[in-house]
C-alpha cells in the first residue's frame, strides 16, 4: 500500500471507508436495544483506514448527552455493564452539615458481562467479513488502475 500511487491509495481508502462503514454501523444498530446505546455506540461509529489496515471505532463522541453521559468516556459501562452494589456516600446538607448516605448504585446499567454486548460482539461477528471486503476493495482498485493504464497506454 505504501508503494501505491497517492491518488490510487486515497481512492482505496475512500472506497474502503464507505464499504466497511456501511457494514459496521448496521451491526452496531442491530445490537443496540435502548436509546442510550444507540446514541452512545451508533452515533459515534466510524471506520479508520490507513496503510496498516483498518480500525472499527464506536462511541467516539466527546459531546455530553443530556444528563452528562459522555459516550467516549462512559461507553464501557454500557458495553460491559456493572453489578448493583450498596455504597456509602459522604454528602452534606444544604446548611453544610456532613452526613453519610447508603445507596444502591449501578441500577441503571445492564448486568455485568466480560465479553462485551454491543461493539465487541459486532466486531467478533463481522470481523472476517470486513477483512474480506478490505482485501476485495484493494484488489478491485488495483485491477481498475492497471486496466486504465493499459487502455490509456
The CA-atom distances, in angstroms, between 137 and each of 19, 36, 53, 54 are 9, 34, 12, 12
Q: With 0.75 as the threshold, say if the pTM is over it.
A: yes
Looking at residue 49, its pLDDT comes to 93
Does position 51 have pLDDT exceeding 70, yes or no? yes
Amino acid at each position: 500500500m505504501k508503494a501505491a500511487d497517492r491518488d490510487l491509495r486515497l481512492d482505496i481508502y475512500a472506497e474502503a471507508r464507505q464499504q466497511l462503514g456501511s457494514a459496521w454501523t448496521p451491526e452496531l444498530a442491530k445490537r443496540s436495544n435502548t436509546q442510550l446505546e444507540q446514541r452512545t455506540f451508533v452515533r459515534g461509529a466510524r471506520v479508520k483506514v490507513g496503510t496498516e489496515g483498518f480500525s472499527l471505532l464506536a462511541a467516539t463522541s466527546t459531546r455530553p448527552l443530556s444528563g452528562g453521559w459522555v459516550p467516549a468516556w462512559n461507553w464501557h459501562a454500557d458495553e460491559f455493564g456493572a453489578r448493583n452494589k450498596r455504597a456509602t456516600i459522604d454528602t452534606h446538607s444544604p446548611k453544610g452539615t456532613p452526613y453519610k448516605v447508603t445507596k444502591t448504585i449501578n441500577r441503571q446499567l445492564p448486568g455485568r458481562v466480560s465479553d462485551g454486548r454491543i461493539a465487541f460482539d459486532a466486531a467478533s461477528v463481522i470481523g472476517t467479513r470486513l477483512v474480506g471486503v478490505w482485501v476485495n476493495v484493494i484488489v478491485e482498485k488495483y485491477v481498475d488502475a492497471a486496466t486504465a493504464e493499459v487502455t490509456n497506454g
